[in-house]
């Protein structure tokens, strides 16, 4: 008599072992603007039947800087990503949402619901995208007007994961080809090659689950750090009435919208005085911003821009 048991696993860890192994990870990191964007193509091999979720993991120091994270599969399906969960600094939570393998302290995870369950021996292909708006730090924090604007990007050699990875490689795009240095916690950058404004990191093989290898990239950028610190929107809905006190504002029935933004350049602070003559002579160079762009509905009319002291700004629509 032969009895066969099939295990069904709905989470990233099942039956005392990981549900997946990453066969191949190809990661692209775009640091050409002030918001760092990451996209990783992942091919994951399932070790169990009925695996319905895949997990993403980052150290909490990196995860706290993620403003948006999205995942889609090979067919273009946008997958549901559960809110981030973090293990406490002094204890690890029991299992990965029901599994028996603990998430290490100081790590955060996202649970991704797959479009369809994956059985043992099958491979699921995913694209993981993330935006990190504060990953770049001015270094030094203060510069003179004509000094180069240098920034520091702290990251990792690896696409960190709660699963072991057979092979992975990263290609990083910088804002310029003016690279100051690459620092690694291992004293020497691991398999890093520089080609103009591109840095190729890896390939690496046989990376353990939750393995990290911190690195820092110091380079020059002209990208302005445009940051909205406050936004208020006022919407006025005018009825189709000649007697409405708002009809004159919107030209009859319709909607009038006014948005108020507080905008700052959060790059390196200016050290010393400011010269408008030198600013004009540098043209488009430097990390200052001379214009702001907005996307408006095609039916919008009567558009204007006004600064805090009442100046009507020149605009092109």
CA separation for the pair 288, 267 (Å, rounded): 9
CA count, 13 A, side-chain hemisphere, 38: 27
Q: Can you read off the two tokens belonging to residue 155?
A: 């990251």
**Cis geometry, peptide bond prior to residue 62 (ω within 30 degrees of 0):** no
What are the backbone dihedrals phi and psi of residue 97, each rounded to the nearest 5 degrees, phi first? 55, 55
Number of neighbours of residue 53 by Cβ within 10 angstroms: 22
CA separation for the pair 238, 223 (Å, rounded): 41
Q: Looking at residue 304, what DSSP letter applies?
A: -
What are the backbone dihedrals phi and psi of residue 62, each rounded to the nearest 5 degrees, phi first? -90, -40
173-to-33, 101, 135, 223, 305 alpha-carbon distances in Å: 10, 36, 14, 13, 34
Q: Looking at residue 129, what DSSP letter applies?
A: E
Regions of the chain with pLDDT less than 70: 1-16, 89-101, 186-189, 238-253, 283-286
Q: At a CB cut-off of 8 Å and minimum separation 6, what does 16 contact?
A: 99, 100, 101
CATH architecture of 13-220: Sandwich (2.60)
How do strand 142-143 and strand 17-18 relate by DSSP bridges?
unpaired
CA separation for the pair 271, 209 (Å, rounded): 45
Q: Can you read off the two tokens belonging to residue 289?
A: 């911003």
Q: At a CB cut-off of 8 Å and minimum separation 6, what does 293 contact?
A: none
Number of neighbours of residue 295 by Cβ within 10 angstroms: 4
CA separation for the pair 286, 172 (Å, rounded): 22
Question: Which of 82, 88, 61, 44 has its CA nearest to residue 212?
Answer: 61
Model confidence, pTM: 0.81
Question: Which of 70, 107, 69 has its CA nearest to residue 86?
Answer: 107
pLDDT tens for residues 55-81?
Answer: 999 999 999 999 999 999 999 999 999
CA count, 13 A, side-chain hemisphere, 301: 6
Residues paired with 173 in a beta bridge: 30, 198
CA separation for the pair 9, 101 (Å, rounded): 14
Write down the domain spans for the chain.
13-220, 226-265+287-317
Residue with token string 């009435």: 241
Residues in the chain: 317
Handedness of CA 46, 48, 53, 58 (dihedral sign): negative
Q: Looking at residue 143, what DSSP letter applies?
A: E
Question: Which of 173, 218, 221 has its CA nearest to residue 197?
Answer: 173
């Amino acid at each position: 008599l032969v009895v066969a048991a099939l295990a069904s696993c709905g989470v990233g860890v099942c039956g005392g072992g990981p549900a997946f192994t990453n066969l191949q990870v190809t990661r692209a990191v775009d640091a050409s603007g002030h918001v760092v964007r990451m996209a990783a193509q992942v091919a994951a091999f399932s070790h169990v039947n009925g695996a319905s979720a895949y997990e993403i993991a980052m150290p909490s120091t990196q995860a706290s800087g993620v403003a948006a994270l999205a995942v889609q599969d090979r067919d273009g399906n946008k997958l549901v990503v559960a809110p981030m969960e973090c293990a406490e600094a002094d204890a690890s939570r029991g299992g990965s949402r029901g599994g028996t393998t603990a998430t290490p302290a100081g790590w955060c995870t996202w649970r991704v619901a797959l479009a369809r369950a994956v059985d043992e021996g099958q491979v699921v292909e995913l694209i993981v995208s993330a935006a990190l708006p504060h990953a770049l730090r001015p270094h030094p924090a203060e510069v003179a007007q004509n000094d180069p604007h240098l920034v520091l990007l702290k990251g990792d050699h690896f696409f960190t994961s709660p699963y072991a990875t057979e092979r992975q490689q990263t290609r990083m795009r910088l804002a310029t080809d003016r690279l100051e240095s690459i620092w690694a916690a291992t004293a020497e950058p691991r398999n890093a090659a520089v080609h103009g404004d591109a840095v190729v990191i890896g390939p690496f093989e046989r990376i353990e689950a939750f393995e990290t290898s911190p690195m820092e990239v110091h380079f020059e950028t002209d990208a302005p750090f445009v940051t909205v610190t406050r936004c208020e929107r006022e919407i006025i809905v005018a009825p189709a009435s000649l007697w409405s006190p708002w009809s004159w504002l919107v030209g009859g029935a319709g909607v009038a919208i006014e948005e108020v933004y507080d905008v700052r350049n959060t790059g390196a602070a200016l050290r010393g005085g400011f010269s408008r003559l030198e600013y004009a002579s540098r043209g488009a160079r430097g990390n200052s911003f001379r214009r702001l762009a907005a996307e408006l509905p095609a039916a919008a009319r009567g558009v204007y821009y006004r600064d805090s002291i009442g100046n009507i700004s020149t605009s092109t629509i």
